[in-house]
Amino acid sequence: MESDEAAVLVEQAIALIANDAGEARVAERIEDALEAPLKEGVDLALVSRALDVVERPGQDEAAPSETRELLVQTVPVALVDDTGPAADRPRMGGQQRLAVGGRDGGMQHDL
């Protein structure tokens, strides 16, 4: 586990999906989030549902998108390409947290 904060691990899972890192790496990061000692601000029921989608037998092309949608709802993170509800979520620690995929290697940026 790279972090002890579930929110950070969920954000990393979102970035892994954006970068097509593969379902095994995404599932591992989601499992880490569920096991993390610091779970503040994370909807664990949705994280668990996201893990179920990733591990669902007979994966289809919609699974990464479905997993991403569930994860985006679990933490207050705005996605650079998102204009939906996550973009309007409250800021953590006075800063808006952005999970960015693809173009910058899936890094999180605080604004």
Mean pLDDT throughout 94-111? 44
pLDDT (mean) for 71-99 = 58
pTM: 0.70
- Residue 4 has what pLDDT? 94
Q: How many CA atoms lie within 13 A of 65 on its CB side?
A: 4
| Region at 59 (left for phi over 0; alpha for psi -120 to 50; beta for the rest) | beta
Q: Which residue has the tokens 């979102």?
A: 14
Please tell me the distance from the alpha carbon of residue 72 to that of residue 85, in angstroms, as a whole number: 9
